[in-house]
Amino acid sequence: MAKRLFLIVLDSFGVGELPDAHLWHDEGSNTLGAIRNHPDFCCPELRRMGLFNIEGVGGGVERPKASFARMRERSMGKDTTIGHWEIAGIISPEPLPTYPEGFPEPLIREFEAKTGRKVICNRPYSGTEVIKDYGREHVETGALIVYTSADSVFQIAAHEDVVPLETLYRYCEIARAMLVPPHNVGRVIARPFTGEYPYVRTANRHDFSLTPPADTMLDLLMRAGYATLSVGKIYDIFAGKGITESRRSSSNTQGMEITMDLLHEEFSGLCFVNLVDFDMKYGHRNDIAGYARAATEFDGFLKEFAAAMGDDDVLLITADHGCDPATPSTDHSREYTPMLIYGKGVESGVDLGTRSSFADISATVLEYFGVDREKTAGESFWKAVKKNG
């Protein structure tokens, strides 16, 4: 039987502030805490797995089905790119650059010259509000809406009838090529929208990420002959590095459907999944009810998925940062993340405490597959959860 590990990232599903949260003005943030008491939150399978047995969460069950831990981020950041890189074995000691006052004028002028279009906005903004405030001007003039956030992102919003998708993507590639040190922004993001005012964002978002600065578990697994399958925006986050096959998704629902399909396909290796709606649709929009419903939907999927797993399959669930929908901020939050690991070959109920790095996941994945972790970071907990015999 082929070895398979399904690594699912619940994008932004934090479980409480990190000790250094004050450095990011994230004191008191707790994404799970914000949604767990909402009437639309119903997650019995996550509870049975041990989500609430994790240190600092509270309300656990007596005999969890999975083993569990609380993961601490060592990298200096709280964004998607740095979080996923650390999960995959790279610790980033320096934060990626952010632009609370907007991007420098010389950079914007160069971008305008290379695209032949004027730039409007150029400051931190909510993705939904920016098209309300600048959408009409864009539609009337063809100027590109460029904006950022508290994260290391260069975002370009454009109406699909004014700037065709392929053209918007080409503009993003131009920006990506320009954004080199010291402006090595983590992600350039295409943010297309459509319709009449106040407009709606479409599912045609596309991320253009920095290439990871070193090998990750994906590269090591691929070189060892294992499949590395990505679902959702994983391919974008790693700029395709170390990935053998990619399947895009436009929602949590589609991402879960693809992951279930892959469970029933034959391959040997890692399936790396990102479920982005938690973050993009609910965390950033301070939508507690929507976040709670998304967790409930995932819980239903989890029960079905776990029941269908093969004897040698392993499931590992985690997150990349927080995005507490109950705080005044609409940005990511510096939080611990959960880790649940489950399978017929995995011991149940092992409390792994608080781990010192997200990278312990990478080390564990590599040890499970018998691949040397080489220079990647992290300490494996596979021996602590592997069933003997």
Look up the CATH number of the domain holding residue 303. Answer: 3.40.720.10
Q: What residue ranges of the chain have pLDDT lower than 70?
A: 1, 389
Q: How far is the C-alpha of 389 from the C-alpha of 348, rounded, in Å?
A: 15
| 289 domain residue, yes or no | yes
Q: Residues 279, 370: one domain?
A: yes
Counting residues of the chain whose pLDDT is more than 90, the rounded percentage is 98
In a domain, 182, yes or no: yes
Residue type for 366, please?
Answer: L
Q: What is the DSSP string of 204-224?
A: --EEEEPPPSS--HHHHHHHT
241 lies in the same domain as 347: yes
Q: Do both 81 and 226 map to the same domain?
A: yes
Tell whether 361 and 234 lie within a shared domain: yes
98 falls within a domain: no
Residues 334 and 253 in one domain: yes
User: Both tokens of residue 10?
Assistant: 């619940």
pLDDT recorded at residue 389: 58
CATH of the domain at 166: 3.30.70.1250
First to last CA, the chain: 16
What is the per-residue pLDDT for 251?
Answer: 95
| Nearest alpha carbon to residue 320 among 6, 4, 5, 15 | 15
A 10 A CB-CB count for 19 gives 9
Q: Which residues pair with 273 in a beta bridge?
A: 8, 231
Q: What angle do CA 248, 251, 257 make, to 5 degrees?
A: 70
**301 domain residue, yes or no:** yes
Domain count, the chain: 2
Residue that terminates a domain, selected from 191, 209, 227: 209
Q: 114 and 148 in one domain? A: yes
| Domain stops at, among 194, 209, 224 | 209
Residues 268 and 305 in one domain: yes
Q: Looking at the domain assignment, is residue 100 inside a domain?
A: no
Which range of residues forms the domain containing residue 247? 4-93+211-385
Q: So what's the pLDDT on residue 1?
A: 57
* 99 occurs within a structural domain: no
Determine how β-strand 4-10 pairs with β-strand 313-318: parallel
Within this chain, do residues 246 and 360 fall inside the same structural domain, yes or no? yes
Q: State residue 2's pLDDT score.
A: 81
Q: Between the CA of residue 208 and those of 184, 245, 283, 368, what are the distances in Å?
A: 12, 17, 22, 31
Residue 79 in domain = yes
Neighbour tally for 382: CB within 10 Å:
17
Cβ contact 150:126 at 8 Å = no
Instruction: Note whether residue 205 is domain-resident.
Output: yes
Same domain for 109 and 167, yes or no, is yes
Judgement on whether residues 361 and 293 belong to the same structural domain of the protein: yes
- Look-up of token digits 């269908």: 308
Q: Is 217 within 8 Å of 239 (Cβ atoms)?
A: no
CA pseudo-torsion sign 21, 23, 27, 30: negative
378/303 same-domain check? yes
CA distance 326 to 156: 27
Task: Tell me which DSSP letter residue 362 carries.
Answer: H
Say if residues 297 and 35 touch (Cβ distance below 8 Å): no
DSSP 283-350: ITTT-HHHHHHHHHHHHHHHHHHHHH--TTEEEEEE-SSB--TTSS--S-B-B-EEEEEE-TTB-SS-
Whole-angstrom Cα Rg for the chain: 20
90-122 b/e (C-beta count within 10 Å ≥ 16 → b) = bbbeeebebbeebbeeebeeebeeebebebbbb
**Identity at 201, one-letter amino acid code:** R
Rounded Cα–Cα distance for residues 334 and 355 (Å): 15
Where is the domain boundary, 171, 188, 209? 209
Is residue 53 within 8 Å of 348, Cβ to Cβ? no
User: Which pLDDT score is estimated for 203?
Assistant: 87
pLDDT digits (tens, 9 = 90+) for 138-189: 999 999 999 999 889 999 999 999 999 999 999 999 999 999 999 999 999 9
Does one domain contain both 203 and 229?
no
